[in-house]
């Protein structure tokens, strides 16, 4: 992850030495608004923008290390770590659910509607996770690949018909992993009214 951030930062500051000092300062200010970039950006005494290699080395010393806190002293380190992993997964699930399904705040006033709403969200999240596990990929990648599948309506002298685009190898792999049949090539033929 850090290497990708640094590569993106390096792309953004490439050629900045040729900019006037004021433009370089503006660029540095804009880059520093992103916390990931701010950690690894340094400005030389001459005002040039550079990657902070020392900050990269410092950050590398913490790779794979986590600091976890709890108020329950009876828990072992493994129990604490497992609890945080579960918490992270639950939070990730809600985040994914809200962003993936494009959920906005919904205000219910009756208990049964609130319960139904939460249960439907939970079922949708479960379906996403089962899909990820079965297909062996993230929901974002699966969704992006399947969104490339299109249906067009063709008008002919005989009527209108819906035709889907050709499946890509990635789409075939996803459908195969999920044990789903390919969608029909042609759909919804509507004859022309005479």
Predicted confidence (pLDDT) per residue in 1-48, tens digit: 788 888 998 999 999 899 999 999 999 999 999 888 898 999 999 889
- Per-residue confidence (pLDDT) for residue 101, from 0 to 100: 58
What are the percentages of helix, strand and coil residues in the chain, rounded to 5? 55, 10, 35
Residue 105 has pLDDT above 70, yes or no: no
- Per-residue confidence (pLDDT) for residue 100, from 0 to 100: 60
- Per-residue confidence (pLDDT) for residue 41, from 0 to 100: 92
At 194 the three-state DSSP class reads: coil
Q: Where are the domains of the chain?
A: 2-60, 77-142, 151-191
Q: How crowded is the C-beta side of 65, counted as CA atoms within 13 Å?
A: 7
Which residue is associated with the tokens 């080395």?
57
Taking the CB of residue 121, how many other CB atoms lie within 10 A of it?
Answer: 17
Predicted confidence (pLDDT) per residue in 110-164, tens digit: 888 878 877 887 888 888 889 999 999 988 899 999 999 999 998 888 888 889 9
Selected residue with higher pLDDT from 79 and 193? 79
Task: In whole angstroms, give the CA distance from residue 96 to residue 90.
Answer: 10
Lowest mean pLDDT, pick from 40-44, 70-74, 101-105, 145-149? 101-105
**Please, which pLDDT band fits residue 109 given cuts at 50, 70 and 90?**
confident
Residue-averaged pLDDT of the chain: 86
| CA angle (34 as vertex; 8, 6 as ends), nearest 5 | 25
């Amino acid at each position: 992850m850090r290497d990708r951030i640094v590569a993106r930062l390096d792309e953004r500051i490439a050629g900045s030495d040729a900019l006037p000092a004021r433009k370089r300062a503006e660029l540095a200010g804009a880059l520093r608004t992103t916390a990931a970039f701010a950690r690894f950006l340094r400005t030389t005494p001459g005002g040039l923008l550079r990657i902070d290699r020392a900050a990269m080395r410092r950050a590398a010393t913490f790779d794979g290390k986590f600091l976890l806190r709890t108020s329950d002293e009876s828990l072992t380190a493994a129990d604490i770590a497992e609890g945080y992993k579960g918490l992270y997964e639950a939070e990730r699930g809600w985040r994914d659910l809200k962003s993936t399904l494009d959920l906005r705040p919904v205000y219910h006033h009756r208990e049964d509607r609130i319960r139904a709403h939460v249960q439907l969200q939970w079922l949708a999240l479960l379906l996403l996770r089962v899909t990820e596990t079965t297909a062996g990929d993230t929901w974002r990648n699966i969704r992006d690949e399947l969104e490339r599948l299109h249906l067009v309506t063709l008008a002919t002298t005989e009527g209108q018909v819906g035709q889907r685009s050709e499946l890509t190898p990635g789409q075939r792999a996803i459908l195969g992993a999920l044990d789903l049949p390919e969608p029909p090539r042609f759909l919804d033929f509507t004859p022309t009214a005479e």
